[in-house]
Amino acid sequence: MRKYLKSLALFLSIFFIFHSMSTLALASPSEAMHEAQKHFDEWGFPHKEGIVLVLSGGGTKGLAHIGVLEVLERENIPIAAIVGTSMGAIIGGIYASGYNAEEMKEIISGLDLMEIISNRSYAEVIDVNYNKPPSSGSSIFNVYMDGEKKPRSNRGMLRAKGLYAFLNEMTARVTVTDFNLLPIPFAAIATDLETGESVVLREGNLASALRASLSIPGIFEPWERNGRLLVDGGLKANLPVLEAKKLFPGHPIVAINLSPENITKKRETMRSMVEVMAQTIEILMTNQVKINAAAADLLIVPKVKDFGILQSEGYDEIIARGVAAAEPMVEQLQNISCEPDKTYCEFRHVEPPSTIRPTVTEIRFEGIPERMSRILHGKYDEWIGKPLDMEKVADAVKILSTGDDFVSVEGRAQNLTKDTAAIVFSIERPSKYEFGLSGYASNIYPDNWLSLSAQIRDIFFEGDVGAAEYRFGSKWGAMLRYFTPKTERDTQFGLVISGREEGLTPANAAAFDLERYTARLAWYKDINRNTRIGLGYAVERVKYLDDGTIDGPYINFTFNNLDDPVLPTKGLSINSDIWFPNGETTITHTRFYTYLPVWPTWNVVLSGGLKTGDVDDPAYAATLGTNEELFSLAARPLLGDQAYWLHLGAAKTITRSWWGGINLELFGKFGQVMRGWSNEESWWEAGIALSAPTNNFSSRVMLIYDQSGEFTFGYSIGIPLWWNGPLP
C-alpha cells in the first residue's frame, strides 16, 4: 500500500510541476496604458489603468502569490484585472473579491489546508454505529451505478466538500454573478474533461469557478458546472498569459510562475511505466508554460521548487518567497505606480458590490426530487423578502454538504433585477446504486473479516435508502438496513435486521460460541447539526443456552462536534444506547471521546465508557476488551454486570496531508468489571501507538505494557466497526 501511495504521489507531483522562464523586461507600459484607455468602452471593465496579473497553478506553492500581492500593494501598483489557474485562481479570486494581502495572510495563518481539501466536511458526524446507512468513507473500494446501470468508480480520491465550503465562506461577500463587476475584474481557467478545451470562467458563482479550476485530476473529483465536467486549468494553461491578453488587451501582463527551473531527470530514475508517462506529460506541459511565459511583459518566479503541491506546513515561508521574488522587480514597475488616493489603487478599501443587497424573491433547488425540494424550502423560505445575505447561503452549503445525502452542493445568487435576486442551490445526489469493499485485520482481535456491501436509494420514496452487507472471515455476519427519507422536521425511521456468529474466550469465564439474530425499528430526530436522538423497539434471538427471545424498548443519544472525524484536535463525541429487554435487565453502551489542544503540537485525548448487562448470561454480559476498551484484553476479555474504562493520552500529529496523516500517541488505560456494582476485577495498561488514519483506510501499530508485566506488539489494518447485539 505504501509503495502504491508513493508512486501515485510521485506521478501527481510530477504531473503538476512545470518549467519556468527567466524574468523578462516590461515592454512600454505607457503605450500599453494609452491603448488600454482607448479601448476601455469595448472591454467593459472599470479599471482603465494598471497591470493584468496572471497567477499560475502550483498547489500550496501558490501561497507565494500572496507575497507578490503584498509587494504590489506596498508599491501602489494598480491591478486592472487578475487571471488565475488552479491555486492561482483561488488566491486571485479571493483577492479580487475584496480582500487585501494582509487579510489573506491572517486567514492562512489560522488555516488547516489539509483539512479543507480532504473529504471531511465541517461538523461531519461519522456514524460508525449503524444508526444510518454506511458511507463510502469506510470502504476501501467503491463502485457506483446511475439510473442507466452504468458502473463507475470514484473519479478522484477526494470529493473535497470542505474545500467548496471554505470557498463559499471566503467569497460570501460577493453577490454579483459577473466577475467583471468584482472590485478587481477576474477570470479563472479550467479544462473541459470531455473535449480537452480550455474554459474561461467569468460569471456565475465565484466559489464554483474556483473549485472547478482547482480540480486536480486523480486527487479531486471533477467539478460539474453549466453542464460541463471540469478539471484543473493547468492541463491546458497553467500560466494563462495568452488567455489574459485576449480577455484584457492593451495592459502590461505581469505573470507569476511557480514552475521549477528545469525538468531534467536521469534515465536511471525512470524505472517504471508510470515514471516514463509522468516525464512525458511534464515535457508536453512545460512547452505550453514556456510559450505563455515568453508572452508576458514581466515574469516573477518565486523560488518554491522545494515545496510540494499539497504541503501541510511552511505556509509563512512560501509567502515570504513570493515577497523575495517580487521585490527585485519593483523598479521595473515604478513607472506605472500611482498615487495612493487614486481609485484604482484603493480597491482594497472599496466596499465590494455585495453591499448592494437586493431583496430575495425566490429560492430554487436544482438536481433533487420535488419532495426533497419541499423539505428544504421549509428550512430556507424564511429568507424570502429579506436582503440577500451570502454568508447565510455559505453556511447553508456547509450544512447541506455534511453527511451522505448529497455529493455536492453549490449555492449562488442570481440577479433577477437591479433590486431583486434569486438564491439557487445546485445539488448533486449520490448514485442510485453503490457497492463497497471493506475489511479489518489485526493480531490482537480474533475476528478478521472482509465485507461486501450494496446500497440503493429511492426504493419506495424519494430520498429513502436501503443497504445490505455480508461479512466473511473468522466469523460470518449479515445485515440489512432501511431508512425512510427525512421529513421537514429532520425525523426518519430506520429498520435494522442482522444475524451473525460470535465467539469469546473470556479470562474470567468459560469460552462460548453463539449465533445472534436481531431486528430493531427506531425513530430518529436530528436536534441540530451535532445532536441526534432515537426511540425504538428491538427483538433478539440468541442460539446459545435456552434459545430464548427477548425484546423491549430502545433509546439512543448521539452528540458529535469533533473538528475532524479522521484527525480530530478538539471537540467531543458521545454515543449512548439503552435497551430494556423483557423489563428485567437493562443493557447499556455509552462511550465518549474528547480532544483538548493543550500544547502547540500535542493534544490531550480523554475517552472512556460504561456498559451494563447480565454476567449470568454471557450473551448479554458487559465486556471489557472487546471494543478497544483495553487492547491487552482483546483476546481474553473480562465479563461482568457492569464495566467501565478510561483512556488518557497525549497525541501528536507527525504529518498531515490530503490523504490523512500519521499520529503518535502515548496512552494509559484503566478499566474495571463489576458484579452488582461491586468490583470484580481491575486492569490497566500503558503504551505507545503509531497510527495512520486516512479517509478510506487506516492502520496502526502499538507496543503495550499491561499489569501482568507483559509486552504486547499489536497491529491493525482497516476501520473496525463493531457489532454488539441490538446495541451499536
Which of 484, 477, 469 lies closest to 436, judged by CA?
469
Let me know: does 686 contact 705? Beta carbons within 8 Å: yes
Digit-coded pLDDT (tens) for 177-206: 889 988 899 999 999 998 989 999 999 889
Check pLDDT > 70 for residue 13. Answer: no
* Amino acid letter, residue 97: S
pLDDT band at 661 (very low <50, low <70, confident <90, very high): confident
Quote the strand ranges of 47-179, DSSP E.
51-55, 79-85, 141-145, 151-153, 156-158
Residue 192's pLDDT is what?
92
Strands 531-543 and 549-560: antiparallel
DSSP code for 612: E
> Which neighbouring-strand residues pair with 560?
573
Digit-coded pLDDT (tens) for 78-119: 888 999 999 999 999 999 988 889 999 888 876 666 666 655
Lowest-pLDDT range of 331-340, 371-380, 715-724: 331-340
Residue 120's pLDDT is what?
47
Alpha-carbon Rg for the chain in angstroms: 29
DSSP code for 145: E
Let me know: does 321 contact 347? Beta carbons within 8 Å: no
The x, y and z cell numbers of residue 251, run together, are 495592459
Kindly state the average pLDDT of the residues 424-450. 86
Instruction: Tell me how far apart the alpha carbons of residues 121 and 586 are, in angstroms, rounded to a whole number.
Output: 36
Q: Which residue has the cell 473470556?
A: 506
Specify the length of the chain in residues: 728
* Amino acid letter, residue 684: W
Side-chain-side CA neighbours of 544 within 13 Å: the count stands at 21
The x, y and z cell numbers of residue 692, run together, are 495512520
Kindly state the average pLDDT of the residues 561-578. 81
* DSSP codes, 173-211: T---SBGGGSSS-EEEEEEETTT--EEEE-BS-HHHHHH
Digit-coded pLDDT (tens) for 287-329: 788 889 889 989 999 988 777 676 667 888 999 999 999 999 8
Percent of the chain at pLDDT > 70 equals 76
Residue 571's pLDDT is what?
87
Instruction: Tell me how far apart the alpha carbons of residues 542 and 619 are, in angstroms, rounded to a whole number.
Output: 8
Is the model more confident about 346 or about 360? 360
Helix (H) or strand (E) holding 287: helix 273-295
Let me know: does 117 contact 162? Beta carbons within 8 Å: yes
Digit-coded pLDDT (tens) for 253-281: 999 998 765 666 667 666 655 456 555 65
Strands 51-55 and 79-85: parallel
The x, y and z cell numbers of residue 296, run together, are 508576458
Quote the strand ranges of 9-134, DSSP E.
51-55, 79-85
Secondary structure of residue 300 in the 3-state scheme: strand
Strands 79-85 and 218-220: unpaired
Let me know: does 16 contact 236? Beta carbons within 8 Å: no
Secondary structure of residue 652 in the 3-state scheme: strand
Residue 496's pLDDT is what?
92
Instruction: Tell me how far apart the alpha carbons of residues 117 and 307 are, in angstroms, rounded to a whole number.
Output: 17
CB atoms within 10 A of CB 264: 8
Residue 94's pLDDT is what?
93
CB atoms within 10 A of CB 229: 18
Which of 681, 683, 680, 702 lies closest to 691, judged by CA?
702
Percent of the chain at pLDDT > 90 equals 34
DSSP code for 155: S
Digit-coded pLDDT (tens) for 630-644: 999 998 999 999 999
Instruction: Tell me how far apart the alpha carbons of residues 533 and 524 are, in angstroms, rounded to a whole number.
Output: 6
Instruction: Tell me how far apart the alpha carbons of residues 57 and 540 are, in angstroms, rounded to a whole number.
Output: 58
Check pLDDT > 50 for residue 24. Answer: no
Digit-coded pLDDT (tens) for 508-554: 988 988 899 999 999 999 898 789 999 999 999 988 766 678 899 99
* Amino acid letter, residue 284: L
Kindly state the average pLDDT of the residues 704-720. 90
Residue 312's pLDDT is what?
66
Instruction: Tell me how far apart the alpha carbons of residues 680 and 28 are, in angstroms, rounded to a whole number.
Output: 88
* DSSP codes, 67-96: HHHHHHHHTT--EEEEEEETHHHHHHHHHH
Which of 32, 515, 574, 537 lies closest to 250, judged by CA?
32
Which residues have CB under 8 Å from 557's CB, separation 6+? 532, 533, 534, 574, 575, 576
Phi/psi zone of residue 515: left (φ > 0), alpha (ψ -120 to 50 degrees), beta? Answer: beta
pLDDT band at 495 (very low <50, low <70, confident <90, very high): very high
Which of 117, 116, 137 lies closest to 128, judged by CA?
137
Let me know: does 343 contact 48? Beta carbons within 8 Å: no
